[in-house]
A and B are shown apart, each in its own frame.
Chain A
Amino acid sequence: DIVMTQSPDSLAVSLGERATINCKSSQSVLYSSNNKNYLAWYQQKPGQPPKLLIYWASTRESGVPDRFSGSGSGTDFTLTINSLQAEDVAVYYCQQYYNTAPYTFGQGTKLEIK
Chain B
Amino acid sequence: DAGITQSPRHKVTETGTPVTLRCHQTENHRYMYWYRQDPGHGLRLIHYSYGVKDTDKGEVSDGYSVSRSKTEDFLLTLESATSSQTSVYFCAIKQGADTEAFFGQGTRLTVV
* A and B pair up: no
A→B interface (CB under 8 Å): none
B→A interface (CB under 8 Å): none
